[in-house]
């Protein structure tokens, strides 16, 4: 570390420091990651605090000088301070950070156990998907194992799905009829009678008029317990597409997804030409890898691995248990949102630059449902935000949480709960899109609409807040703790539930308001996009007015019932998952 050349060429990570005031204009700054500490003046601390990301010392120096508007004469003192902080351990060498992953295993990953197709009452889509699976098998000469989890309410649709399978004898497809009396759920209840209610909460059929997006996914998680698997939406197309803006290499960080929207699929397909790749093989290459193996694999990408955007909280993700829990590819077409998503408003700088070159596209943003959503390059993401809109990889060799059986936000809930129980979990976002084409468009929210609260999202937010207080490392213990917290929430009084709801509403609205104003304040944001955003500033969706916040609510009895039922299911899930791991291996 004393070698000047090494110090100059090395990339240095700026962690989340803690600061303790000592005297007037003096403080003790500590790096919690390694215990290193140093006494600094207030001015020196301001320079250090201006460092973000993972850069060389020269780049940190330039960024700090720019952020503090420091004159050129101060640059040598800034550089001297940063070198001192690097020697004292307040800045972390990137190689030392990566070394925390440990040594890569020489063992090869087991093959993907299967590809789940959750479906309900859409046999035409199933037939199309199996036809494209057959074409992929012919093109690659690789035979995959497919599993159709049929949650159809109609016998006619179940028959149509079975006929679609029969018409493709070249494919290895297992049919799971989730409607039959002697179903998998019934078998599990017989084997684990003491968990009968919890099994029902996760696997039972939906009531009339009730959606059950999470039910087939829970069946898949249990059928593949202990193995890696993929899941593909029944209305996705196996037609890999190039990003409209593609970059070589790979990125690492927290960045939000770029989005580009189009007036027709002809325009979208022209902007995103076909890629001659096997999307299943691309997912299989990454899902389940330890980060000790995934990091050097990303470094070998043509163009290298860019670490500029590593946030200061990233240190906790560099852990021997870190692994690629999920893989995700981009979406072209319907993004999967039901009514409203903050991603409609909080667009990235990349998207705003694209809008500057395509001003007419801004008028399509809240009307067209044909969009590309993803990144311009391969990305190692420190987030576990999960979307099952097209093709998704699951590392079910480690305990993954279940989905909420009914209602919305089922896949985001799995993603958030995964972060709760695996704090060092990573997601790899693959740099291609699969088309997602619906029969009919969605009715998205407008600025005049009043926001609709969703119980599952409230529980997701509550779990996110409480997970920071869980100290156990064992995933099963952590999941059971989250479950216990939800059961406790079910016993809370009306005042506590009201406070939870108001805090959730205000936090989401204020976060989006900040993002909108951030774009309005950016001189690079195109005028036509600013015009669209201003309409949302007065929207009830973004209001933090106390009166409007208090008006948004859900029935407390329903909230309590859902918290109690799902909380108990989370407590039981580790035992249920372990039972199925032994059952199917």
Quick: pLDDT tens for 471-496: 888 999 999 999 999 999 999 999 99
Calculate mean pLDDT across residues 556-576. Answer: 95
pTM: 0.92
User: Which 3 state secondary structure label does DSSP give 37?
Assistant: strand
Quick: pLDDT tens for 21-50: 999 899 999 998 889 999 999 999 999 999
pLDDT of residue 1: 46
Domain spans of the chain, in order of start = 4-99, 115-232
Position 4 pLDDT exceeds 80: no
DSSP 272-312: S-B--S-HHHHHHHHTT-BHHHHHHHHHTSTT-EE-TT--T
Q: pLDDT band at 554, cuts 50/70/90?
A: confident
Distance CA 170, CA 182 (A): 28
- Cβ proximity of 128 and 96 under 8 Å: no
Quick: pLDDT tens for 496-535: 999 989 888 888 889 889 989 999 998 888 888 898 889 8
Position 407 pLDDT exceeds 80: no
DSSP designation for 337: -
- Cβ proximity of 341 and 369 under 8 Å: no
Q: pLDDT band at 270, cuts 50/70/90?
A: very high
- Cβ proximity of 417 and 482 under 8 Å: yes
Distance CA 318, CA 97 (A): 6
Position 6 pLDDT exceeds 80: no
According to CATH, the topology of domain 4-99 is: Outer Surface Protein A; domain 3 (3.90.930)
pLDDT of residue 355: 87
For 577, residues 6+ apart whose C-beta sits below 8 A from its C-beta are 221, 222, 225, 399, 400
Quick: pLDDT tens for 182-195: 688 889 999 999 99
For 111, residues 6+ apart whose C-beta sits below 8 A from its C-beta are 284
Position 5 pLDDT exceeds 60: no
Q: Above pLDDT 90, what percent of the chain?
A: 62
């Amino acid at each position: 570390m004393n070698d000047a050349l090494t110090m100059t060429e090395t990339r240095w990570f700026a962690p989340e420091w803690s600061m303790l005031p000592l005297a007037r204009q003096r403080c003790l700054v500590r790096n919690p990651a390694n215990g290193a500490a140093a006494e600094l003046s207030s001015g020196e601390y301001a320079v250090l605090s201006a460092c973000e990301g993972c850069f060389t010392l020269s780049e940190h120096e330039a960024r700090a000088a720019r952020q503090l508007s420091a004159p050129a004469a101060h640059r040598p003192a800034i550089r001297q301070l940063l070198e001192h902080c690097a020697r004292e351990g307040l800045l972390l060498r990137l190689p030392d950070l990566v070394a925390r992953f440990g040594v890569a295993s020489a063992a090869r990953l087991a093959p993907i156990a299967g590809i789940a197709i959750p479906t309900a009452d859409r046999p035409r889509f199933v037939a199309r998907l199996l036809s494209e699976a057959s074409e992929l098998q012919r093109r690659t000469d690789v035979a995959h194992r497919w599993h159709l989890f049929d949650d159809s309410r109609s016998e006619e649709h179940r028959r149509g799905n079975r006929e679609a399978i029969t018409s493709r004898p070249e494919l290895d497809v297992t049919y799971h009829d989730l409607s039959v009396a002697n179903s998998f759920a019934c078998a599990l209840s017989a084997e684990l009678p003491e968990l009968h209610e919890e099994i029902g909460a996760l696997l039972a059929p939906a009531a009339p008029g009730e959606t059950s997006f999470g039910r087939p996914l829970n069946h898949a998680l249990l059928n593949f317990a202990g193995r890696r698997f993929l899941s593909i939406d029944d209305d996705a197309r196996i037609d890999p597409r190039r990003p409209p803006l593609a970059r070589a290499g790979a990125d690492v960080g927290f960045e939000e997804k770029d989005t580009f929207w189009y007036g027709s699929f002809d325009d979208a397909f022209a902007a995103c030409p076909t890629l001659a790749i096997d999307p299943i093989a691309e997912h299989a290459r990454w899902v389940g890898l330890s980060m000790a193996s995934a990091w050097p694999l990303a470094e070998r990408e043509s163009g290298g691995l860019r670490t500029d955007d590593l946030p200061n909280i990233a240190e906790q993700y560099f852990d021997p248990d870190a692994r690629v829990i999920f893989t995700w590819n981009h979406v072209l077409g319907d993004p999967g949102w039901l009514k409203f998503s903050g991603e409609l408003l909080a667009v990235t700088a990349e998207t705003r630059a694209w809008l500057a070159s395509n001003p007419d596209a801004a008028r399509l943003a809240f009307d067209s449902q044909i969009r590309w959503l993803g990144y311009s390059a391969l990305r190692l993401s420190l987030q576990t935000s999960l979307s099952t809109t097209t093709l998704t990889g699951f590392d079910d060799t480690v305990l993954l949480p279940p989905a909420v059986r009914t209602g919305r936000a089922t896949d985001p809930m799995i993603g958030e709960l995964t972060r709760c129980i695996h704090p060092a979990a990573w997601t790899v976002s693959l740099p291609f899109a699969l088309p997602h084409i619906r029969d009919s468009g969605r009715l998205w929210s407008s600025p005049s609409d009043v926001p609709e609260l969703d119980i599952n999202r409230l529980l997701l937010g509550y779990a996110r807040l409480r997970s920071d207080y869980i100290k156990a490392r064992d995933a099963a213990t952590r999941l059971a703790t989250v479950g216990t917290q939800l059961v406790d929430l079910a016993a809370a009084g009306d005042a506590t539930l009201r406070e939870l709801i108001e805090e959730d509403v205000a936090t989401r609205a204020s976060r989006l308001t900040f993002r909108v104003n951030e774009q309005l304040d950016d001189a690079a944001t195109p005028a036509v996009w600013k015009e669209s955003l201003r309409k949302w500033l007065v929207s009830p969706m973004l209001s933090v007015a106390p009166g409007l916040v208090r008006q948004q609510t859900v029935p407390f009895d329903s909230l309590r019932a859902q918290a109690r039922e799902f909380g108990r299911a989370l407590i039981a899930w580790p035992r249920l998952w372990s039972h199925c791991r032994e059952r199917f291996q």
